[in-house]
């Protein structure tokens, strides 16, 4: 059904490897996440590939997206709110989202960073 609804600008790729996903995200103008997720690893993966994010302002995106630096937010899960965000995003020069900065920000969510921060938190609570 989705294929019938899509126009010629949409391609359905089927399964792609992790490497292909990273390469595709690295070439994308942006990544849209319209869901509210506890953490949202796809948002971090997009940033790790140097791809800015358009994210619903809720859940884990609040922790992983820096508004105006690594992406932008929209406030309602409606077509109108997402369309407004997409239009705002298109008006932002691509030079505002520097891939190296997005990658650096995403590294804050790797395993080592998590363990270090968790240990600091536990020590602080003692």
Q: What is the pLDDT of residues 72-103, one digit of tens each?
A: 999 999 999 999 999 999 999 988 999 999 99
Nearest to 31 by CA among 14, 8, 12, 47: 47
Query: Which runs of consecutive H residues, i.e. helices, occur in 28-109?
Result: 41-48, 61-64, 79-91, 99-106
What is the Cα–Cα distance from 38 to 63, expressed in whole angstroms? 10
Which DSSP helix (H) or strand (E) runs through 119?
Answer: helix 111-125
Q: Which domains does the chain have, with CATH numbers?
A: 13-125 (3.40.50.2000)
Q: Mean of the per-residue pLDDT values for the chain?
A: 92
pLDDT given for residue 126 in this prediction: 65
pLDDT tens-digit map of 33-53: 999 998 889 999 999 999 999
Q: What percent of the chain clears pLDDT 70, i.e. is strictly above it?
A: 99
């Amino acid at each position: 059904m989705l294929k019938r609804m899509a126009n010629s600008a949409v391609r359905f790729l089927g399964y792609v490897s992790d490497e292909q996903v990273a390469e595709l995200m690295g070439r994308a103008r942006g990544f849209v996440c319209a869901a509210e997720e506890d953490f949202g690893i796809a948002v971090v993966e997009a940033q790790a590939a140097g791809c800015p994010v358009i994210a619903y302002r809720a859940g884990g995106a609040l922790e992983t997206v820096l508004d105006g630096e690594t992406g932008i937010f929209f406030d309602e899960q409606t077509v109108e709110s997402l369309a407004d965000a997409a239009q705002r995003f298109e008006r932002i020069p691509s030079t505002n989202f520097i891939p190296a900065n997005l990658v650096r920000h995403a590294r804050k969510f790797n395993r080592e960073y998590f363990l270090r921060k968790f240990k600091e938190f536990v020590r602080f609570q003692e």
